[in-house]
Amino acid sequence: MRSYQEMVVNQLRQMNEDNQLLVYLKDRNVRKQKQTKALEESLDIVTEKLRRTMEENRIVRLRTKMQHEENKEEMYMKEQFFKEQIRIIQDSRAAKKEEFERMQQEKREKVKPLSCSPLDDRVDEYLNLLSFKIKKNGKLCY
């Protein structure tokens, strides 16, 4: 027969050790479950924040694109306006230049019939020479 020690005491000791191990494993399992639950909650929070941030970024990109298109259209309209203004100024300038040239031509035609004689031509040359000398020296010199 086996001894009491072998049959009872060893078995009780083994049961006690197994119970302590069971309590330790249960505590460890509870801690692991709490940690897993906390990590899942954190993941849910971070995922929600990421989703909101992505949505906000999408809205900002859309608004920026719309603003860019508006600015582009505004710049195009301004460009067209200024081009039109430049064209109007150039047309006006060309018209004034033509009018000035026409007036000069009319004055030349009026002056031409009056100076028909060679004496008149010499007087004109003399006056031109005098005006050139005055302009050159700033005073009339003989």
State the Cα–Cα distance between residues 31 and 38, nearest whole angstrom: 10
47-73 pLDDT, tens digit per residue, is: 999 999 999 999 999 999 999 999 999
Cβ-based burial of 135 (10 A; exposed 0-12, middle 13-18, buried ≥19): exposed
Q: List the end-to-end C-alpha distance of the chain, in Å, as a whole number.
A: 165
Read off the pLDDT band of 125 (50, 70, 90): confident
Average confidence score pLDDT of the chain: 88
**Local structure of residue 142 (DSSP, 8 states):** -
In this structure, the number of other CB atoms found within 10 A of the CB of residue 133 comes to: 14
Give the residue-averaged pLDDT of 5-12.
83
Give pTM, 2 decimals. 0.48
